[in-house]
Amino acid sequence: MKVAIIVFPGSNCDSDLHYVLENLCHVSAEYVPSTATSLDGFDAVMLPGGFSYGDYLRCGAIAALTPIMGAVRQFADSGKPVIGICNGFQILTEAHLLPGVLKKNDNLKFICRPVALQVENNATPFTTKYVKDEKIHLPIAHSDGNFYADPATIDELEQNHQIVFRYVDQNPNGSVNDIAGICNRRGNVVGMMPHPERASEKIVGNDDGFKVFQSLLTLKH
């Protein structure tokens, strides 16, 4: 398996993804700059967290217009797996590869702490190693993680089982229906605000996120 990690100006979680993929999953991971125009030869694409283009205009708004996003769209349209984490999730919504938007947190503050989640959909390429309704803990680190969509879109997401992760115990940012992660209708494009790459080894205190990457590996078996 060969995984593309898209690097935008201001990305800062790209090296974390690279470490998990290369050192823990033992697969080939390659940094792909936002100026690239092709994703030929890759089996999966990951958009990392960070502050692409300094979060100017809106988080992910400028990154969504970069050359690589045309290739990401073609990649997604072909049915191959794409995941956006934190800022990557924001970019996917700005590029209209996922519905909704990520607004400012309700408290208008940057939140950086572990949160409890429930796995709502374990049928995506990134969640098959989880059990449905499994409760996990992952860290969040964002100012704009408040997921919003109009009521009709929310109903569609719920009815089509497109909610992938949901906050439990406490909603940290005000997201509608406690939504922490979603997927597209086809299920191959996933966006999530929590950081699984920061919780993939017990040495850091928690490896609940590692199943996101283990799930991807099963696609090649």
- Residues with active-site annotation: 86, 195, 197
Q: Is 161 within 8 Å of 53 (Cβ atoms)?
A: no
Is 151 buried (19+), middle (13-18) or exposed (0-12) by CB count in 10 A? Answer: exposed
Is 130 buried (19+), middle (13-18) or exposed (0-12) by CB count in 10 A? Answer: buried
Give the type of residue at 71: A
Give Cα 32 to chain centroid, integer Å. Answer: 17
Give the type of residue at 150: D
Give the type of residue at 159: Q
CA distances from 73 to 79, 134, 149, 213 (A): 10, 31, 21, 21
Alpha helices, H only, the chain = 14-19, 68-77, 87-94, 151-159, 210-217
Q: Which two tokens stand for residue 121?
A: 């959909």
Helix (H, G, I), strand (E, B) or coil at 26: coil
Measured between alpha carbons, how far is 129 from 126 in angstroms, rounded to an integer? Answer: 8
